[in-house]
């Protein structure tokens, strides 16, 4: 018989709700899909389970018999599946600056699926995906590395980080092209700015290299060069000897939620899709 759990869940919902409209709301299914599942169940069993009129839907004798047998089995199955999920964690890695609102999306995801979400700061190029510490990684910059897939959450504009002792720090705005004549401080692990982003005949020199945002700020502060970062850094990171100046003409910074193309956690793609659909709740 061509019967699976979705058919039985649809049957239980229609029987308990007393109609297709209410059952569709309960299961978040369109009525044509729900009707099709009930029809498949009836055809596979070879019996009528519901008497349907324009005003009501009632169980037949066969439907009542099936309901008495199936209802406790489905509830027992749902309980067993929830027990299996208990304690399961989905780990999300980030190098710095989680978007505001992502924690709320994670909390709602946990309530809906029974799978908790943990955030882990990982100072690696792929925010922990490259070391296997996490199941998903928040990555800034394009394109996604080979072997990863994910969703584009949003794109950020950039700010410039300038030593406070420099005359440039007095400016209210800088042009991206102006930075080509200045030494550049590069975060080689989680940074988003590199000399190759300027034309080949007009590229900044490398004033210093570092491996995280804190080192990046300190090296700018002592005057080893300028840097650029997504605008969200301006709200999360400050330094008394660094001025953050708006940039014009700069390329945007894409922000991805990524997971391995193969062998990913069963819930990784589902969470990424949930975050992508809720991008309006995210603040950069």
Mean pLDDT, residues 80-93: 84
Spatial distance between the Cα atoms of 44 and 234, rounded to a whole number of angstroms: 62
Mean pLDDT, residues 72-76: 93
Mean pLDDT, residues 37-49: 95
The predicted model scores a pTM of 0.74
| Beta carbons within 10 angstroms of residue 261's beta carbon | 12
Domain boundaries, given as residue ranges, for the chain: 5-85, 89-151+258-281, 158-251
% of the chain at pLDDT higher than 70: 98
Place 283 in a pLDDT band, splitting at 50, 70 and 90.
low
Q: At what angle do helices 102-113 and 268-277 cross, to 10 degrees?
A: 130
- 161 strand-pairing partners: 227, 244
- Report pLDDT for 114: 84
Instruction: Please check whether the domain covering 89-151+258-281 is classified as CATH 3.40.190.10.
Output: yes
Return the SS3 of 133: coil
**In the CATH scheme, what architecture does the domain 5-85 have?**
Orthogonal Bundle (1.10)
Mean pLDDT, residues 26-30: 92
What does the CA dihedral 229, 231, 232, 233 come to, rounded to 10 degrees? 40
CATH code of domain 158-251: 3.40.190.10
Domains 89-151+258-281 and 158-251 belong to one CATH topology: yes
- Report pLDDT for 280: 83
Spatial distance between the Cα atoms of 116 and 160, rounded to a whole number of angstroms: 37
Mean pLDDT, residues 109-114: 88
Name the least confident of 16-20, 103-107, 140-144, 161-165: 140-144
Judged against a pLDDT cut of 70, whether residue 284 lies above it is answered with no
Q: Based on the number of CB atoms within 10 Å of its own CB, is 279 exposed (0-12), middle (13-18) or buried (19 or more)? A: middle
% of the chain at pLDDT higher than 90: 83
């Amino acid at each position: 018989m061509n019967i699976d759990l979705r058919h039985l869940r649809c049957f239980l919902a229609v029987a308990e709700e007393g109609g297709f409209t209410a059952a569709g709301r309960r299961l978040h299914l369109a009525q044509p899909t729900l009707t099709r599942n009930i029809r498949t169940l009836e055809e596979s069993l070879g019996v009528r389970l519901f008497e349907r009129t324009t005003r009501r839907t009632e169980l037949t004798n066969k439907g009542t018999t099936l309901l008495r047998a199936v209802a406790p089995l489905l509830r027992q199955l749902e309980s067993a599946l929830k027990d299996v999920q208990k304690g399961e964690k989905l780990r999300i890695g980030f190098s710095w600056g989680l978007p505001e609102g992502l924690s709320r999306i994670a909390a709602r995801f946990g309530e809906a699926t029974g799978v908790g979400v943990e955030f882990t700061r990982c100072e690696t190029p792929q925010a922990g995906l490259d070391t296997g510490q996490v199941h998903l990684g928040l990555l800034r910059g394009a394109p996604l590395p080979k072997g990863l897939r994910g969703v584009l959450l949003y794109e950020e504009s950039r700010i410039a980080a300038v030593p406070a002792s420099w005359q440039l720090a007095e400016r209210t705005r800088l042009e991206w092209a102006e930075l080509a004549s200045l030494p550049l401080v590069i975060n080689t692990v989680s940074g988003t700015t590199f000399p190759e982003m300027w034309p080949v005949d007009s590229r900044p020199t490398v004033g210093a290299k570092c491996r995280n945002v804190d080192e990046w700020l300190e090296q700018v502060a002592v005057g080893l060069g300028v840097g650029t970062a997504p605008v969200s850094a301006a709200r999360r990171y400050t330094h008394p000897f660094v001025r953050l100046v708006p940039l014009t003409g700069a390329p945007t910074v894409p922000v991805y939620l990524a997971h391995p193309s193969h062998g990913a956690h069963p819930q990784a793609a589902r969470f990424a899709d949930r975050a992508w659909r809720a991008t309006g709740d995210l603040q950069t």
